[in-house]
Structure 1
Amino acid sequence: MNRTPTHKPRPMVDLLVSVILPSLILMKLSGEDALGVSGGLVAALAFPLGWGLFELVKYRKFNFIALLGLVSVLMTGSIGLFELDNQWLAIKEAAVPAIIGIAVLVSTFTPYPLIRALLFNSSVMDTEIIKQKLEENNSTEMFEKKLMNATYFIAGSFAFSATMNYVLAKWIVTSPSGTEAFNEELGQMTLYSYPMIAIPSMIMMMAIFYYLWRSISKATGLKLEDLMLKK
């Protein structure tokens, strides 16, 4: 029987394929003496699109955020190739993280809250022993409140990302879509978005994760290292 390969995070590869290479193509190879405006845009978008599809197919695991990423790439391509008003780029850039943040909040009213998939899940933590200790210490209700706080924090981090994405797109991408200047500005926006948005958002997520770990540790009496899933 074929086993699905285990996904191992490769942040440097993700950064290279999804940010650096597309940005360089847009800024350096979109001229008529190279790939041209449309060719440069298609080549640049092919990297994150191809990488995202490769990850989804290889690991055979539905990922809501990864799917939104793919949709985002396709929408960016459509705006450039069909020469739509560039204001749609700013709206699209803000819409993706906004949708994720709203989904995180709305999911708390369903049997499958996204907070558990993002942070409190059995692939990272020993959730069975945590639940057992929570019940023994009569701390389940208190922990659920902490989990809800973490949900609000995560939604807030996506609200920050949506706002910054919109501001950055409006600030940098001012040329009409379908032009070489538009591609160059799109490449600049992609590069700037990493230090200005991605890294701060990553720090926020790490802080929220640490908050959740501390909350679990206090509620269960377990040390942080004991909360991790033993492999």
Structure 2
Amino acid sequence: MHTLLSSRVIDVSQNESAKQQKSGFFGNLIFNIAIPVLIMTYASSDEYLGPAWSIVVALAFPLTYGLLELKNTKKINMFSVLGIVSVLLTGGISLLKLPAEYMAIKEAAIPAAIGLAVLITQFTKNPLVKALILNDQLINWDKLNKRLEEKQKVEVFNAKVAISSYIVASSFFLSSSLNYALAKWILVSEPGTTAYIEEIGRMTALSYPVIVIPSMILLITALIYLFKQISVVTGDPVEDFMRQ
């Protein structure tokens, strides 16, 4: 359900791009949280859509938004794909009336998988942390790599990237733990009932302040740390390596 994970990639560019990013943020907020929460909370009773149809209609919004995002960007975004998978799993678990434990496991599994991917890719040539917080739209990697080679600081900087990977991975593991705890705390009604669908809506509404904000703090911490290390290791201002 939490396709807001896709908005956690930090991107910087010109004013027009910033406007698009702001629009994307509010689009995520409206289609992935606000509308589904309203439908599941106020339209899941038998006099309106009922439990089954309310979950179908509610999840249609983030699913459609995720598919349109993939179409508009013309490229596969890991977070968009995971968001779509999450929506489909939420719908499937709800419609099949599986125990709430399945929902809690699903909520925890996706961010945990991303955290593991961050740690595992740290031992490859293309650490995932670079795509998450220091992508090519933010940093001029050709210029930075050239400077690191000139100062023979490549290995030193890679060690700093590894530390940031641990910070980023911890943000996803924190999200995983909070997801599971939130689901276990809120989902207490019989699956398939109006009360259960309303609880899913409540869980979705609470996901932003309870889960996304603490995780974003850690992501921003990792970004600030790497910015500082770029300056320390190269001896140049970090602005020299940022895209204009």
What range describes the TM-score normalised by the shorter chain of this pair? over 0.9
2-structure distance, mates of 1:199, 1:165: 13
List alignment gaps of at least 5 residues for structure 2. 1-16
The one-letter code matched in structure 2 to 1:102 is L
Supply the distance in 2 between the matched residues of 1:207 and 1:226 (Cα, whole angstroms): 21
Question: Under a length normalisation based on structure 2, what TM-score does the superposition of the two structures give?
Answer: 0.88
Q: Which residue of 1 aligns with 2:4?
A: none
Structure 2 residue identity aligned to 1:223: P
Find out whether 1:16 has 2:30 as its counterpart.
Answer: yes
Asked if the contact 1:65/1:100 (under 8 Å) is kept, the reply is no
Other-structure match for 1:3: none
Q: Find the aligned partners of 1:42 and 1:147 in 2 and give their Cα distance.
A: 42
* 1:28 alignment partner in structure 2: 42
Match of 1:127 in 2: 141
Q: CA deviation at 1:227?
A: 2.5
TM-score by length of 1: 0.93
Aligned partner of 2:111 among 97, 116, 137: 97
Q: Supply the AA of the counterpart residue of 2:169.
A: A
Match of 1:54 in 2: 68
1:191 to 185, 188, 205: 205
User: How many angstroms does 1:176 deviate by?
Assistant: 1.8
Determine the structure 2 residue equivalent to 1:159.
173
Alignment gaps of 5+ in structure 1: 1-5
Question: Counterparts of 1:50 and 1:222 in 2: how far apart (Å)?
Answer: 45
- 1:203 and 2:220 correspond: no
2:220 equivalent to 1:220: no
Partner of 2:120: 106
- Select 2:153's aligned residue among 133, 139, 149: 139
Show structure 1 runs of 4+ deviating over 4 A: none
Aligned length: 225
Alpha carbons 2:40, 2:54 under 8 Å: kept: yes
Q: How far off its partner does 1:221 sit?
A: 2.0
Q: 2:91 aligns with which of 50, 54, 77?
A: 77
Q: Take 2:61 and 2:213, find their aligned partners in 1: how far apart are those partners?
A: 21
Q: Note the C-alpha offset of 1:113.
A: 2.1
Q: Which residue of 1 aligns with 2:13?
A: none
Amino acid at match of 2:65: W
> Which range is displaced more, 162-171 or 197-206?
197-206
Report the RMSD for the aligned CA atoms in angstroms.
1.4
